[in-house]
Structure 1
Amino acid sequence: MASTAIPESGAIFRGYNFANMWEQNAPLMEEQKTAISSLSRAIAERPYPPNLVGVELLAQEQCLVKDGSAMISQNDVVEEAGIDVVLVNTHQFYKWFTDLESAMKSETEEKYRLYVNTLVERIQLCDGILEQVDDTLNLFNELQLLQQSVAIKTKTLHDACDRLLLEKQRLIDFAEALRIKLNYFDELENVSSKFYSPNISLGNGQFLPLLKRIDDCISYFENNPQYAESGVHLVKFRQLQSRALGMIRTHVLSVLKTVSAQVQAAVRGSGSNKASIAEGVEASVIYVRFKAAASELKPILEEMESRSSRKEYAYAIHECHKMYCEQRLSLVKGIVQQRISEFALKESLPSLTRSGCAYLMQVCQLEHQLFDHFFPSSSTDVSSMTPLIDPLCTYLYDTLRPKLIYQANLDSLCELVDILKVEVLGDQLSRCGESLAGLRPTLQRILEDIHERLTFCARTHIRDEIANYRPSDGDLNYPARLEQLTEKASDNSGENNSDIFRTWYPPLEKTVSYLSKLYHCLEPAVFTGLAQEAVEFCSISIQNASKVISKKSSPMDGQLFLIKNLLILREQIAPFDIEFSVTHKELDFSHLLEHLRRILRGQASVFDWSRSTSLALTLSPRILESQIDAKKELEKSLKTTCEEFIMSVTKLIVDPMLSFVTKVTAVKAALASGAPDKRQDPVLAKPLRSQAFASPEKMTELIQKVSNALQQELPKVMAKMKLYLQNPSTRMILLKPIKTNIIEAHVQLQTLIKTEYLPDEVHGIGMLSSPDLQSQIDNLL
Structure 2
Amino acid sequence: MTRSRGNSLVQSIATHAPFGKNLDDELLGKLKRISVKHKQIDVHTGPEVKCKENKYSKYDRYVTDVDVKVGEYQTVINQAERINEQLALIVDKFCVISSETNDFTESTFGLFEKFRTLDELHRSITEYLSYFETLDPIVRNLHHFSSPNIVRKNSFKSKLSKIDESLQFLCEHEEFRDAEAYRIKFKQCMVRCCSLMATYLSNCLRSIYEEVIKSPEGISQSATRDALLYNKFSSIAIDFYSVSKELSSRYSNKHQQIYHDELGSILQDCYNEYFRIRMKLLSPLISGQLGNKEQQPKKLPLVKDIQDNLLFFTQLCEDEHSLIVKFFSEKESKKSFNEWLFRLCEPFHDHVREKVLQESDVASLCDAVTLLNKYYQFEENSEEYDAQFNSIQLDKIFEPLLQDVQYRLIFRAQIYVETSIIAYRPTKDAFSINYRKSGLSKIEKGDGIVRSFLDSISESSDEVEEMRSCYPPVTRAIALLSKIYQMVNSSIFDTLAHHIVHDCVESLKAAHRLVRGSEDNLDMNLCYLKNLLMLRKQVQNFDIQYVCNETYVDFSGLRDFLRSLAHGGLSAASNSVLSLAREGAPKVVNNMVDARSELSAELRNAIKELTEAAAHEVVGACLNNSEVLISDNTQLRKNVETVLPRIHNQMRIFIKDGEVRIHLIDAIQELVIRAYAEYYEDVTQQAENGKIAKEDVSEIMYVDVFADLFNNIASQLEKTDEKINNYDN
Which category of TM-score, normalised to the shorter sequence, fits these structures? 0.7 to 0.9
Q: Which moved more, 1:401-410 or 1:545-554?
A: 545-554
**Structure 2: distance between partners of 1:472 and 1:590:** 34
Q: How does 1:295-444 map to 2 (within 5 A)?
A: 295-309=238-252, 310=256, 311=260, 312-346=262-296, 347-378=300-331, 381-387=334-340, 389-422=341-374, 432-437=388-393, 439-444=394-399
**Structure 1: distance between partners of 2:351 and 2:174:** 58
Aligned equivalent of 2:221: 272
Which of 1 and 2 has greater Rg? Answer: 1
The superposition leaves residues 536-576 of structure 1 with CA deviations (integer Å, 9 ceiling, x where unpaired) of 11111112112222355432232122111111111111111
**Structure 2: distance between partners of 1:763 and 1:149:** 147
Q: How does 1:590-609 map to 2 (within 5 A)?
A: none
1:520 to partner: Cα distance: 0.8
Q: Is the 8 A contact 1:275 1:335 kept in 2?
A: no
1:409 to partner: Cα distance: 1.4
**Structure 2: distance between partners of 1:402 and 1:482:** 39
Q: 1:764 to 1:273 in 2, by over 3 A?
A: closer
Aligned equivalent of 2:413: 458
**Structure 2: distance between partners of 1:638 and 1:202:** 83
Q: Which moved more, 1:648-657 or 1:536-545?
A: 648-657
Q: Is the 8 A contact 1:581 1:630 kept in 2?
A: yes
Q: Is the 8 A contact 2:338 2:392 kept in 1?
A: no
TM-score by structure 1 length? 0.70
Q: 1:426 to 1:397 in 2, by over 3 A?
A: farther
Task: Give the one of 206, 226, 230 matched to 1:257.
Answer: 206
Aligned partner of 1:341: which letter?
Answer: G
Task: Give the one of 534, 547, 550 matched to 1:581.
Answer: 547
Task: Give the one of 611, 615, 634 matched to 1:646.
Answer: 611
Aligned equivalent of 1:105: none
Q: 1:274 to 1:196 in 2, by over 3 A?
A: farther
**Structure 2: distance between partners of 1:579 and 1:162:** 86
1:210 to partner: Cα distance: 0.7
1:481 to partner: Cα distance: 3.8
Q: 1:409 to 1:232 in 2, by over 3 A?
A: same
Aligned partner of 2:190: which letter?
Answer: Q
Q: How does 1:536-615 map to 2 (within 5 A)?
A: 536-551=502-517, 553-588=519-554
Q: Is the 8 A contact 1:245 1:316 kept in 2?
A: yes
The superposition leaves residues 333-386 of structure 1 with CA deviations (integer Å, 9 ceiling, x where unpaired) of 211221133245553211111222222111111111211111234366333442
Q: 1:712 to 1:163 in 2, by over 3 A?
A: closer
1:407 to partner: Cα distance: 1.8
**Structure 2: distance between partners of 1:318 and 1:495:** 61
Q: Is the 8 A contact 2:546 2:595 kept in 1?
A: yes
Aligned equivalent of 1:187: 134
The superposition leaves residues 15-42 of structure 1 with CA deviations (integer Å, 9 ceiling, x where unpaired) of xxxxxxxxxxxxxxxxxxxxxxxxxxxx
**Structure 2: distance between partners of 1:129 and 1:765:** 156
Q: 1:190 to 1:615 in 2, by over 3 A?
A: farther
**Structure 2: distance between partners of 1:550 and 1:289:** 81
Q: Is the 8 A contact 2:219 2:228 kept in 1?
A: no
Is the counterpart of residue 207 in structure 1 residue 207 in structure 2?
Answer: no
Aligned equivalent of 1:34: none
The superposition leaves residues 571-596 of structure 1 with CA deviations (integer Å, 9 ceiling, x where unpaired) of 11111122222232344465677999
1:297 to partner: Cα distance: 1.7
Aligned equivalent of 2:55: none
Q: 1:143 to 1:526 in 2, by over 3 A?
A: closer
**Structure 1: distance between partners of 2:100 and 2:437:** 135
The superposition leaves residues 614-653 of structure 1 with CA deviations (integer Å, 9 ceiling, x where unpaired) of 8886676544333221221111112112112212222223
1:243 to partner: Cα distance: 2.4
Task: Give the one of 68, 92, 96 matched to 1:149.
Answer: 96
The superposition leaves residues 696-729 of structure 1 with CA deviations (integer Å, 9 ceiling, x where unpaired) of xx22332344345446544543443333223343
1:269 to partner: Cα distance: 4.9
- SS of 1:378's equivalent in the other structure is helix
**Structure 2: distance between partners of 1:139 and 1:223:** 63
1:466 to partner: Cα distance: 0.8
Is the counterpart of residue 731 in structure 1 residue 661 in structure 2?
Answer: yes
Aligned partner of 2:291: which letter?
Answer: S
- SS of 1:373's equivalent in the other structure is coil
Q: Which moved more, 1:722-731 or 1:245-254?
A: 722-731
The superposition leaves residues 204-246 of structure 1 with CA deviations (integer Å, 9 ceiling, x where unpaired) of 2111111121222234345545544444434433332232122
Task: Give the one of 642, 646, 651 matched to 1:721.
Answer: 651
Aligned equivalent of 1:115: none
Aligned equivalent of 2:194: 245
Q: 1:700 to 1:631 in 2, by over 3 A?
A: same
Report sequence identity in percent.
Answer: 20
Q: Is the 8 A contact 1:416 1:450 kept in 2?
A: yes
**Structure 2: distance between partners of 1:299 and 1:129:** 90
Aligned equivalent of 2:468: 502
Aligned equivalent of 2:63: none
Q: 1:483 to 1:160 in 2, by over 3 A?
A: closer
- SS of 1:582's equivalent in the other structure is strand
1:469 to partner: Cα distance: 0.7
**Structure 2: distance between partners of 1:772 and 1:203:** 108
Task: Say what the alpha-carbon RMSD is for the aligned residues.
Answer: 4.7
The superposition leaves residues 459-503 of structure 1 with CA deviations (integer Å, 9 ceiling, x where unpaired) of 121122111212357x62625447999xxxxxxxx9945543221
Q: 1:218 to 1:350 in 2, by over 3 A?
A: same
